[in-house]
Structure 1
Amino acid sequence: MAFKIRDIEVALEKKGFKRVESDHSYFIYFTIENKKSRVRTKTSHGHKGQALSDNLFSVMAKQCKLNKNQFSELIQCPLSRNDYEKILDMQGMVK
């Protein structure tokens, strides 16, 4: 399934990522306890309405410390923020 960049950005913000604007839109994950993590990804400003390529989708999934299926579930919402944080905790990405 192809996702639009804007839809991904909205989903990331719903799951605890905070947007930082610069030359790109950077998304940094903050834990449920509002602690900044090392998990981050970015999107480009110029392509909000376009579908994300499979290659870039894979890159974003990797940056978010997920496989493509997990990232798809994160965006579509079957993967809750609590479950996502458990995955990050098991990887030592959050404390």
Structure 2
Amino acid sequence: MVKTIAIITDKGVPSTEIKENTLINVFKLEGNRVSGYESIKLDSADTNSFSKLLKLKEISLIYIDKVNNELHRMLHKLGIGVKCKEEWEGDQFIGQFVFG
């Protein structure tokens, strides 16, 4: 089964907001193995464009430091899961990365 996950970062650390130059780090997973990677830099902070990009890339789950309620609701409607930093403990995928 192929699954696509994104880690949203700003200057190398998990992002607290969606803004210009935020990086969307996209990982394609087959089973427990990463089979592809792509990094996309946002040109604007528009949440509609952001959510459309996630849908276009078939992202099923994003990792982000925190997310505002409006964006969280929009992503939920699109069927995209959200894991904020306080939910990361014990998560095998995000545990492979070191953020300082």
Q: TM-score, normalised by structure 1?
A: 0.31
Higher strand share: 2
Higher helix share: 1
